[in-house]
Structure 1
Amino acid sequence: MRLMAFDYGTKRIGIAVSDPLQIIATAMDTVHPEKIWDFLKDYLQREAVETFVVGKPLQTDGTASESAHHVVGFVRRLQREYPDIPVVEVDERFTSKIASQAILQSGIKKNKRRDKGLVDTISATLILQTYMDTQKY
């Protein structure tokens, strides 16, 4: 079964999934928050997901960031809509910065680097990979 990760934002939600063996995290898509529930319904009809992993927005001192209350609402609805799929929150500090650096170093053309959705999907991939790495030990 796959793992699915979310980098929640009020304009876009970056989504990443694992392979069925849960070895590799892959960037999947970016979806507007209003369309996430239709997206999930469609995806979960085709693929089995074992766990949802949601990036938890924290400040550098470990306290909740200003956007944390949006994520709390998203997590609650995930739990309500899909009670059989556990939801795990993972510290997402610095994922957007790391994603931006990775994009810059990858040699992607400048106009593609401006695509904020790309940062969101890579951030979701980093969140998922972080979770998977902690589960191996």
Structure 2
Amino acid sequence: MKTYCWTDRRGVIGFGRVPPKDMLVIAWAESRPLRKAVEAQARHAYDGTSLLVPGVPEAGSEQVAINAVNRFASRIARALGSPEAPLELTPDTRVSIAEHDWERGLVEFNGVVVRRLSPTHVQVRVDDGLLIAAPIEACTVIEAERSAA
């Protein structure tokens, strides 16, 4: 059964069939391999049961925390045997992104790749100006529109 792994701003890791709203998804896979990979890579909290994303609890800013989550997500993807990025998305590549949103269903939008965040994610500036982290597997390259002359 597909299981999601997510984290909050404090770096506390959770697992479940549906990620809670406002949590950052780290990975999803079959439950047993996902849990095994995360437990091996995560930092274990002092309470003896909680798992933490290394670098997030002590992060001094949101960007530092996001970078730590991206590094952790990359390690989990490699531990699960995920291939490196299937697409080579370079800066300024125009892409269409289709992702599932738990509240709105399938969400599609267009934007421009800003930079690579990890082996599995890119930062995209969507057409309304918002910067997002998008899984490479959700991106489709938009061919340059030909101008009618």
TM-score for both structures, normalised by structure 2: 0.26
Rg (Cα) greater in structure: 2
Higher normalized helix content (fraction of residues): 1
Higher normalized strand content (fraction of residues): 2
Higher RCO, Cα 8 Å, sep 6+: 1
TM-score for both structures, normalised by structure 1: 0.28
